[in-house]
Structure formats: C-alpha cells, structure tokens
Amino acid sequence: MDNPLIRKLEHYARLSTEDKAVLIKASSDRLRKLRAHEDVIAEGEKPRYVNLVLSGCACRFKHLDDGRRQIIAYFVPGDLCDLNVFILSQMDHSIGSITDVVIAELSREAMEELTMAHPRITLALWWETLVAAAVQREWTVNLGQRSAFERVAHVLCELFLRLRAVGLTNDDSCQWPLTQSELADTTGLSPVHVNRTLQELRAAGLVALRGKTLRIPDLDALKSAAMFNTNYLHLDHEGRHLDAND
C-alpha cells in the first residue's frame, strides 16, 4: 500500500477494502505534475478541483501588497488542499509547489462519489478537515508566542511527525523539503536569522540538517525545546480501532 492518502486516513478511521479501492481510483484519475516553485492555483482564480498531493511538497501562501510572503500551511503526500472549496468563486490565497510534486485533481463529482456511499471515508475526511484547522491554530500560537529558537524547532517537529504519519521517514531521519528561505517565510523570521537559529539547534545537538536530509537524534528533546504538544495532530483517536469490514 503506497497511497499516502489511505495511509493517512487510516489514522482517522478503519477503511474497508472497498473504501480503499474507491480512494485509489479517485486519486489516479486526473494527475498533474509540477516542478518546484510553480503555482497549483493562484489567488483570485476559481477553484475547480480538490488537490491531493501524492508526492513532493506544496504550500499555501499569501503575499502582501509590498511583496512580503507568508507560508500558511504545508501539504505533504496524503494531504488534501481544500475539501469544501467548490462554493468559493475566488481563492483568497495561493497554493504552490515547493519541490517537484505530483497532484491528483479530484472533481466535485469524484468527491461526492467518495463520500456518498462511504461513511468511513466521510468520517476520515472530517477528521482531515479538523486536523488541518488545528494545525492552523497551532501555527498562530507558534508565530505569536514562541521565540525564534522554539519556532523553528516546532516547524521541524511538526513536519517530521506529519511525514512519519505517511511513512516518509526512516527511523530518526527524513528527506527535508524546505530551503532556509522558505523556513523564513513560514516562521516570520529573516533568512539570516533562520540560518543562525538552525546553527543553535545543531549546536544544541537537537537536529542534524545537512543538505536535504534532516535527522532528529532525540525527538523528545526537540519536542520539549519547541514546547511541542502532539495532541493537536490528533493521531491517536478512537475511530481507527473500529472494524471496517463489517
């Protein structure tokens, strides 16, 4: 099973064999490949599809009039961009690729088919939505209250755990998709200061980030340095224990 969406949704609900078949079909219908730094959809455009990231990394972002940019969310494999986007006539922000990505475009009809006759999928998608909102809230806390050191540590933690949830880590390391400049647009810091903060994290032995590989030798230590509380990711709730092939 290498479908990251299924992998993730199984954190939220037990899926039946048929559920999985339907998900696989939906996520292989319309594929779209993008290189790094391209727009998936830009502010002002009308959304036509729910975008599902199959591989690579994308982000939601917003520009201010004077060019400052804030990254608002990351999308890793298995993430759906906007489940309810069809009633919007205009995007109020943009979505772009960070690395090369493969995206499945899910039409309105495909989404209806997924949910209509598949209550467990529907439930899992509800969870997906709730968790996305919780992540957004946590980012608000991160930007508002944490120091640069904690803030960068928190982003590293979160992304690592989310990658782990879809099987994209090896033990204590993973492919790291972000440049320092993107990390700066995420944390609201200058690229220079992100660089210095990463050096502090390295000096403290909390992370080893070289090239495109991130290694976290002691995840608990990094968590506590970041004041990271895993609960908002809701990776451990009751739904997944129910039997689905009933």
Partner DNA sequence: CGTCCCCTTGAATGAAGTCAATACGCGTGG
Partner DNA sequence: CCACGCGTATTGACTTCATTCAAGGGGACG
Q: What is the dihedral of CA 89, 90, 94, 100, to 10 degrees?
A: 40
Q: Applying CB under 7 A, does 148 fall inside the site for DNA?
A: yes
Count of C-beta atoms within a 10 Å radius of residue 213: 12
Give the distance, in angstroms, between the CA of residue 231 and the centroid of all CA atoms in the same chain. Answer: 16
Q: Applying CB under 8 A, does 220 fall inside the site for a copy of itself?
A: no
Q: Applying CB under 8 A, does 234 fall inside the site for a copy of itself?
A: yes
CB within 8 Å of 101: residues ≥ 6 apart: 33, 34, 40, 53, 54, 55, 56, 57, 58
Could you list the beta-strand ranges (E) of the chain: 31-34, 39-41, 50-55, 58-63, 69-75, 94-97, 101-106, 169-170, 173-175, 208-210, 213-215
- State the minimum distance, in angstroms, from the CB of residue 210 to a copy of itself: 27
Binding test (CB under 8 A) with a copy of itself, winner from 33, 35, 119, 140: 140
Q: Applying CB under 8 A, does 245 fall inside the site for a copy of itself?
A: no
Residues 103, 93 contacting (CB under 8 angstroms) = no
Residues 129, 73 contacting (CB under 8 angstroms) = no
Shorter beta-carbon distance to a copy of itself: residue 127 or 160: 127
Q: Applying CB under 8 A, does 69 fall inside the site for a copy of itself?
A: yes
Binding test (CB under 8 A) with a copy of itself, winner from 70, 99, 175, 195: 70
- Which does residue 211 touch among a copy of itself, DNA, none (CB within 5 to 8 A, set by kind)? DNA
Stretch that binds a copy of itself, among 15-23, 28-36, 88-96, 205-213 (CB under 8 A): 88-96
Q: Applying CB under 7 A, does 205 fall inside the site for DNA?
A: no
Q: Applying CB under 7 A, does 180 fall inside the site for DNA?
A: yes
Q: Applying CB under 7 A, does 70 fall inside the site for DNA?
A: no
Q: Applying CB under 7 A, does 147 fall inside the site for DNA?
A: yes
Q: How far apart are CA 229 and CA 233, in angstroms?
A: 9
- State the minimum distance, in angstroms, from the CB of residue 84 to a copy of itself: 6
Q: What is the dihedral of CA 191, 72, 8, 217, to 10 degrees?
A: 20
Q: How far apart are CA 199 and CA 164, in angstroms?
A: 24
Shorter beta-carbon distance to a copy of itself: residue 125 or 174: 125
Binding test (CB under 7 A) with DNA, winner from 159, 198, 206, 226: 198
- Which does residue 75 touch among a copy of itself, DNA, none (CB within 5 to 8 A, set by kind)? none
Give the distance, in angstroms, between the CA of residue 161 and the centroid of all CA atoms in the same chain. Answer: 10
User: Which residue ranges make up the site for DNA (CB under 7 A)?
Assistant: 147-149, 179-181, 188-193, 195-196, 198-199, 211
